[in-house]
Amino acid sequence: MGVTDVTGEPVISMRGVRAELGSRPVLRGIDLTVHRGEVAALLGANGSGKSTAIRSVIGQVPLSTGAIELFGTDRGRFRDWRRVGYVPQRTTAAGGVPATVTEIVASGRLSRTRFGLFGRADRAAVHRALELVGMADRAKDSVNALSGGQHQRVLIARALVAEPELLIMDEPMAGVDLASQEVLARTLREQVAQGTTVLLVLHELGPLEPLIDRAVVLRDGCVLHDGPPPHAPASIPPSSQLRSSRGYPQPGHDHVHPHGPAGADPIRTGLLS
Ligand SMILES: Nc1ncnc2c1ncn2[C@@H]1O[C@H](COP(=O)(O)OP(=O)(O)OP(=O)(O)O)[C@@H](O)[C@H]1O
């Protein structure tokens, strides 16, 4: 469980946030405050606006109305981006460029370096981040040689290497093999234990469930539910390994994941009916 302190300072504050994409209203009045040390999961059906919501927080989506503050500063005036680690919805880390694992992770450290020059502390931080995600032995490899789950571990190391106070992740478990899921859950647990604030988009709580303080469910660009995460039913039907922990299918399921592992059934959150 995260170090929840709802009396702590707001790290993310969204008030009356509306945003349009291609003239279509996608966020239709979102109010959400995430306090220091809290771990909040954004859930909801495909297209409900989860990615757009977190992209609005990091400044990638302009607001039509409303306000967002990061660490108490209006997003438009916020400059201290090294306090924020962001893991986008999974793409390849290199996009065909033959970058090494170390180069990708080091790129996440630039905001902490002096004039872009890597010192001993920066190199140590890169090594530590790679160790955290169990990729230190692949440091010199090209990212093109990695599996999807290993890619994701590298992207998370890149987000963690600047030692952010706020970690924002878009579906970090999507398309990730079970071994990597376990590494990621452990990594996140360590971050949360250190007091990192986390906002993440998930399509199911899965192995991260014990860490989640709050579930915020979006529907059609609005907050439908904001409170404790839902509990598993008494009996969990036998299912695929990916549905371990709380990743159980339920009636009224809603979310079909487009980039799950090959051969896996669609994974449902069961949070909307
Ligand atoms: N660049 C864009 N231009 C126009 N519409 C967009 C754009 N990006 C997203 N949308 C639309 O906005 C809506 C919300 O998209 P968003 O990606 O935020 O949903 P989501 O809840 O994260 O969905 P998913 O679970 O499928 O990732 C969708 O209907 C989507 O088609």
End-to-end CA distance of the chain: 27
C-alpha span between 174 and 271 (Å, rounded): 18
User: 10-89+165-243 belongs to which homologous superfamily?
Assistant: P-loop containing nucleotide triphosphate hydrolases (3.40.50.300)
Q: What is the pTM assigned to this prediction?
A: 0.81
The fraction of the chain above a pLDDT of 70, given in percent, is: 78
CA of 259 to the centre of ligand 1 (A): 15
Long-range pairs for 174-177: beta carbons < 8 A, 24 or more residues apart: 174/89, 174/90, 174/203, 174/257, 174/259, 174/260, 175/90, 175/148, 175/149, 175/259, 175/260, 175/261, 176/90, 176/148, 176/149, 176/152, 176/261, 177/147, 177/148, 177/149, 177/261
Specify the ligand 1 atom closest to the Cα of 52: 18
C-alpha span between 217 and 270 (Å, rounded): 11
The pair of three-digit structure tokens given for residue 56, joined into one six-digit string: 């609005």
Specify the ligand 1 atom closest to the Cα of 221: 14
Q: Is 60 in the pocket of ligand 1 (CB under 6 A)?
A: no
Q: What is the pLDDT of residues 230-240, one digit of tens each?
A: 765 443 333 33
Q: Is 22 in the pocket of ligand 1 (CB under 6 A)?
A: yes
Q: What is the pLDDT of residues 56-95, one digit of tens each?
A: 999 999 999 999 999 999 999 999 988 999 988 876 555 5
